[in-house]
Each structure stands twice: as structure tokens, then as C-alpha cells.
Amino acid sequence: MQPIVNGNDLLKTPQILRISILFLAAIAAFYLGKHWSDGSYPQVRVGKFRVCDKRMREYIPCLDNVEAIKRLRSTERGERFERFCPERALDCLVPAPKDYKSPIPWPQSRDEVWFSNVPHSRLVEDKGGQNWITRVGDKFVFPGGGTQFIHGADKYLDQIAEMVPDVAFGKHTRVALDVGCGVASFGAFLLSRNVVTLSVAPKDVHENQIQFALERGVPAMVAAFATHRLLYPSQAFDLIHCSRCRINWTRDDGILLLEVNRLLRAGGYFAWAAQPVYKHEELQQEAWKEMEDLTTRMCWELVKKEGYIAMWRKPLNNSCYVNRDPGVQPPLCDVEDDPNSVWYVNLKPCISQLPENGYGTNLTAWPARLHEPPKRLQDVEMDSYIAKNELFKAEARYWKDIVEGYIRVFRWKTLRLRNIMDMRAGFGGFAAAINDQQINSWVMNVVPVSGHNTLPVIYDRGLIGVAHDWCESFDTYPRTYDLLHASGLFSRERKRCNITLILLEMDRILRPGGLAYIRDSKSVLEEIKEITEAMGWRSDLRDTSGGPYANRKILTCQK
């Protein structure tokens, strides 16, 4: 393997010594993260990548670091479910299970998936009597139930809508978070009501919950309420739901519920379906009183308590917080605290303040909010020669044309594209264009931490996304996306990361037969093409349309 390097001094050395220096530099860069003098990361070229051991079929590098987890001083607060990236990055191709099949297409996949694609039966054994999941022949079948809604998610959603009509699924409530989601039937059935739900659960004893969700074609990520902020911005979700999610919301003076508060939009709702809501045993009633006391001090309004479910509403502004009696806990966070800073940021035992200008509150109803420049756009720190609203509209027009081209040239509407990731999402224009074309899919908008934090804008539009550093592994199972889209990502990140490792991570999370569209400069794409071919991908370098982007090309790949 040989790194790409512009080192004139090396040309003066004897041939054997020069090769040795290049080899050692490549090894050091690969494992230690060194940079060349021009600031770019040395890219390692390899003839052909080996296949990983079959025991790594479900491997998530930063969540399966056994050695780091063993060194933890404590695991009482769920630390073992958080990110600990290995010093040695993944350098092989994660294999698929034996007899892997092309996934069942949506919407059929909502109700059944191939057993061979997620060959794990513990959930059937543990939850078979709760209407979550059953096995029928060579398939898993999802009846649509859950621990607290064994009669089906649709009836459960009807109950919530009747309890609190202002929830208004598909209008006021567009973006939801389902905590401890099981196999994500709550989110799966909300999709038909024009609500996109991000389903999250840790990688714990209820094995492969998130993998089942993504195999079904439902938006999901591995995530845990533990000691760090979740990787989503403040005021992201119109509704946050927890049905028997096994989280003690009142522990440590409510620090986990304070994280829910940060994520919940002003005026948004928290739905809790758990034993303390409806059981009358002494311990359960004590837990309910603790929850009542905490939510009162947090200025949440208990809107309705009925059957298994309690519903609270977050205030629209800071007036209740500032009018509390002196010394009431939890306190307000410092004004200097940025509630949108999330990458490896510890949880904070305080109430995130709402913007005094009202940004993020009372958004336009869906679907109009998708195309209206959100007010929080003005808070994005970026240098621009034109007004941010005009930049927003220009991006929308650009991606509208591009997606129309993809549909026309690559016949997207004939392809089985369900789970899509935009690896450098900007304002979410690519995802918005896909939504407008009514392609039967959803998009995970990834905002790299190396760039501008546009995540609040993406959520205000009614889309979902996550902050991420592409120098590290993404929090999802292998084989969970049908299409990866990366525009300008590699020319930006190659100064920080080894692009070979980014491509290996793309191979890990892409389904067999899945597609990757990479838009970048010709020189970068020529380098990437060589690596993708070493991974066994079929790659084709094509020209893009003319105009200001004529110097860019697109690399279309199939795993």
C-alpha cells in the first residue's frame, strides 16, 4: 500500500529507503492520525480489502469496544451503552449473514422481514406474548403491538389523538422521538399520519431492536440516555414518547428528563406510558409522585392522564422558569450554554433556556414548514456573501434540479430506495427534494461536526438528522441503508480523516446491492474510485451538468 504524498525530499533518498519511509508513514497515519505538512490526511491505497471475521456481522465499532467498556470505573448510569471508538479503525469488509436476501420493499416491510437478514430470535422469546414480533416460517412478522399497546399501534395513536387533540398528527406534530422503541411499531404506524419518528434504543439485552427497525424501513439509530447529550439539537421534536422504556427519569435530580426537555420543542408534548401512571401499588405511586414533582418544577403542564398514558406539555417561553421561587431546582442553564452543542457533551443538570426571540416556537404547520426558511436559520454561524434566506432558497432549487435528474437518468422511482442517508446535509435540501418527488423513502440528514451546525434548521423544516464526525464510526448496524449520498464531503474531510476509513464505514452500513452517489472534484473522485473498486464496488465516474458546478463530477457506485 502506498500513500499519496507530495514530498520532494523523498525523491533524493535511495529507492529502498524511500519505499520504507512511505510504508512506515502510511502505517503511522492509518493508526495514529498524523497529517502531512499541507494539512491533508495521507490516504492509503490498498490492492484489495479482506473480509472481516464472520463474528463481526453485527459490528458497530464505537459501541462494541469491549476493552474500553471493561476499563470503565462505573456502569451504573448506562455508560457501557455510549461511544468508545477503538484506537484501531475498521480495516476490513463486514460480511452479511448466511443466506442474506434483498430486503422486502416498503410498505410490505412494515409488517414482515426476512429472518435470514436479522437472524436473532431473543425478542421473539422475550416479547412474543406482547404482540411485538413473531416468527412465521422464513420471516419475522410484526403485528404492530407493544408492551403498553398490545392491541396495536394504530389504536394507541388514536387514543393519544383523542386525549390531546392539539397533538394534531401530521400538522402540528411532524417530528417525533420514540425512546426505547422496541421494534419501532410506534414510528412505523405514525408514518401513515405524516409524522416522521426517529426511533432510538441502546444496544442492550433486547438484541438488535434498531436493526429490526431499519430492516423494516423505519428511521432509527442506536442511542442511549446515559451521561452524554443525544446527538440531536435543542427543540428538535414536536413529540417525545416513552412506553415502558425502562428509564428512571427522576434519577440524579431528573438529569435524563432535563435532556428530554432540551430536545423537546417549546409547546411540544411528552407521552409517558409506564406502570407508575396506572398502577396503585405503593412503590409505583411513589414513583408517580416523584415524576409529578419533577415535572412541576420543570414547568411542564400535565395535560391529561388517562389509562396507561400521561401527557405533559413544555412551556412556550421562559416566563414560568424565571418566576419560580428562588432556589427551586433544577436551575436554568447559563446563558452561555449552547443547547445545540452535542458531540461528546456531558448531560447538564439544568433547564435549557428557550430563545428570547421565540425562534423554534410556533412553526408553520406541515407541510408548509418544509419550504419556509426557519427563523433559526439566522442563528447558523457561517460566512455568506448573500442573505441566509436566499442561500436557503438557492440550495433548495439546486437539489430540486439534481433529484429530478437522478429520477430521470437513474430511474430512482423504479429502485427500492427506502433508507437513505445524506452524509453532508447542509440545510436538508436534498431530503426536501426527495420528499417533494414522493419517493417512497426517508432521509437521515447527517451534519458533520467539522462544518456549520444546520441541524436546528433541518428539524424546523420537519426533517430528521444527527450530528456526526466522519472520522469515526456511525451509530447504526451494518447493512441498514439502501443509498448513501455524499456531496462535497470528501474534499472537506480529507484534511481531517483518512478517506479510506470513511469508505470502509460506508461499506459497513450499506446493504449488499446498495448504492452510493458521491459528488466532488474530479481529482478526489478518481482517488475514491480506486478505493471503492478495492472494496469490490462497481463504480462509474460521470460528468455533472454545466454551470457553476461544471468542475464537479459524480461517482455512482453499487456495493
Q: Which pLDDT tens digit goes with each residue over 81-104?
A: 999 999 999 999 999 999 999 999
Enclosing H/E stretch for 218? none
As a whole number of angstroms, the distance between CA 107 and CA 75 comes to: 39
| H-type alpha helices, 209-281 | 209-216, 251-263, 275-278
φ/ψ (deg, to 5) at 557: -130, 150
pTM of the prediction?
Answer: 0.90
CA 221 distance to own-chain centroid: 5
Note the pLDDT of residue 496.
94
Q: How does the average pLDDT of the chain come out, rounded?
A: 90
As a whole number of angstroms, the distance between CA 553 and CA 555 comes to: 7
Q: Does position 552 have pLDDT exceeding 80, yes or no?
A: no
As a whole number of angstroms, the distance between CA 132 and CA 183 comes to: 7
Q: Where does the pLDDT of residue 550 fall: very low under 50, low under 70, confident under 90, or very high at 90 and above?
A: low
Grid cell for residue 361: 416556537
The percent of residues above 90 in pLDDT, for the chain, comes to 82
Poorest-pLDDT segment among 348-362, 376-390, 410-424: 376-390
Cα atoms in the 13 Å half-sphere on the side-chain side of 29:
29
CATH of domain 368-558: 3.40.50.150
Q: Where does the pLDDT of residue 36 fall: very low under 50, low under 70, confident under 90, or very high at 90 and above?
A: very low
CA 507 distance to own-chain centroid: 17
Q: Where does the pLDDT of residue 21 fall: very low under 50, low under 70, confident under 90, or very high at 90 and above?
A: very low
Mean per-residue pLDDT, 14-42: 37
| Three-state DSSP state, 215 | helix
Residue 385 vs residue 548, higher pLDDT: 385
| Three-state DSSP state, 10 | helix
CATH topology for 144-322 is Rossmann fold (3.40.50)
Mean per-residue pLDDT, 178-199: 96
Mean per-residue pLDDT, 312-324: 96
SS (H, E, C) 442-469: EEEEEEECCCCCCHHHHHHCCCEEEEEC
Poorest-pLDDT segment among 12-26, 334-348, 474-488: 12-26
Mean per-residue pLDDT, 316-323: 95
As a whole number of angstroms, the distance between CA 35 and CA 245 comes to: 44
How much of the chain is in helix, strand and coil states, percent to nearest 5? 35, 20, 45
Q: How many CB atoms lie within 10 A of CB 174?
A: 28
Q: Which of 498, 482, 487, 472 is nearest to 421 (CA)?
A: 482
By DSSP bridging, strand 237-243 and strand 175-179 are parallel
Q: Is 140 exposed, middle or buried (0-12, 13-18, 19+ CB in 10 A)?
A: buried
Largest CA distance in the chain: 83
Domain ranges of the chain: 1-45, 144-322, 368-558
Grid cell for residue 142: 410484526
Amino acid at site 185: S
As a whole number of angstroms, the distance between CA 245 and CA 150 comes to: 15
Q: Where does the pLDDT of residue 385 fall: very low under 50, low under 70, confident under 90, or very high at 90 and above?
A: low
Query: Do the domains at 144-322 and 368-558 have one common CATH topology?
Result: yes
Mean per-residue pLDDT, 223-243: 98
Q: How many CB atoms lie within 10 A of CB 5?
A: 17
C-alpha dist (Å) from residue 273 to 12, 279, 310, 316, 466: 71, 11, 6, 24, 26
C-alpha dist (Å) from residue 533 to 51, 102, 559: 14, 22, 10
Poorest-pLDDT segment among 124-133, 382-391, 480-489: 124-133
Residue with cell 408492551: 147
φ/ψ (deg, to 5) at 483: -145, 130
By DSSP bridging, strand 237-243 and strand 264-273 are parallel
Q: Does position 192 have pLDDT exceeding 70, yes or no?
A: yes
Phi-psi region of 407 (alpha: psi -120 to 50; beta: other; left: phi over 0): alpha
Under 8 Å between Cβ of 282 and 313: no
